[in-house]
Amino acid sequence: MNFPSLYAAFNSREINKALDLMHSDVEWPNVMEGKMLTGKEAIRDYWTRQWQALNPTVVPEDIEVLKDGRLKIKVRQVVRDMQGKLLADGYVYHVYTIKDGLIVKMEVD
């Protein structure tokens, strides 16, 4: 799994490049509404709506392999509004389940 390319695609708003790294039935957190999404089209819709309201960037800084095989990535997350005002700047952890080289689930820890 090429996580730098996933984050680069997200940050440059290249949805298709990011979705190509995911299983068709991927589970993904909708942090804005507090629920899980299933499938690439649900993620496409979520990101499209998110990017109309916010300008987030995420940069992976460290990767840890957990005992169960999932990957935990420390991510610096900077969120600005559409006028450029800083709303958040801090660290979150993204936890990925990978199967056959594709993301099947992502959780925010």
Show me where the domains of the chain are located.
Answer: 3-108
Closest CA to 18 of 102, 96, 82: 102
**What pTM value is reported for the model?**
0.92
pLDDT(1) > 80:
no
- Predicted local distance difference test score (pLDDT) of residue 29: 97
Convert the pLDDT of each residue in 82-105 to its tens digit: 999 999 999 999 999 999 999 999
Q: Helix, strand, coil % (nearest 5) of the chain?
A: 25, 50, 20
DSSP code, position 51: H
The distance from CA 107 to its chain's CA centroid, rounded to whole angstroms, is 9
- Predicted local distance difference test score (pLDDT) of residue 4: 85
- Predicted local distance difference test score (pLDDT) of residue 3: 81
CATH class of the 3-108 domain in this structure: alpha beta
Convert the pLDDT of each residue in 32-69 to its tens digit: 889 999 999 999 999 999 999 999 999 999 999 999 99
